[in-house]
Amino acid sequence: MDSISKDNGHFSMNGGDGPLSYDKNSSYQRGILEASKAIIEEEIATKLEFSTNSFCIVDFGCSTGNNSFPAMHAIIEAIKRKYESTDLKTPEFHVYFNDVVSNDFNTLFRSLPPDRSYEVAAVPGDFHGSLLPPSSVHFAYSSWAVHWLSEVPKAAEGLKSPPRSGGEMEEVYEAYLGQFEKDLESFLK
Q: What is the pLDDT of residues 38-82, one digit of tens each?
A: 999 999 999 988 767 899 999 999 988 888 999 999 999 999 999
Dist. CA 92–CA 120, nearest whole Å: 11
Dist. CA 70–CA 79, nearest whole Å: 14
Would you call 136 helix, strand, or coil by DSSP?
coil
Task: Return phi, psi of residue 76, to 5°.
Answer: -65, -40
DSSP summary character for residue 164: -
Q: What pLDDT does residue 189 have? A: 81
Q: What pLDDT does residue 99 have? A: 92
Q: Write out residues in the chain with pLDDT < 70, as ranges.
A: 1-30, 51, 158-166
Would you call 121 helix, strand, or coil by DSSP?
strand
Specify the amino acid at residue 171.
E
Q: What pLDDT does residue 52 have? A: 74
Specify the amino acid at residue 67.
N
Dist. CA 178–CA 172, nearest whole Å: 10
All domains in the chain, ordered by first residue: 4-148 (3.40.50.150), 149-189 (no CATH)
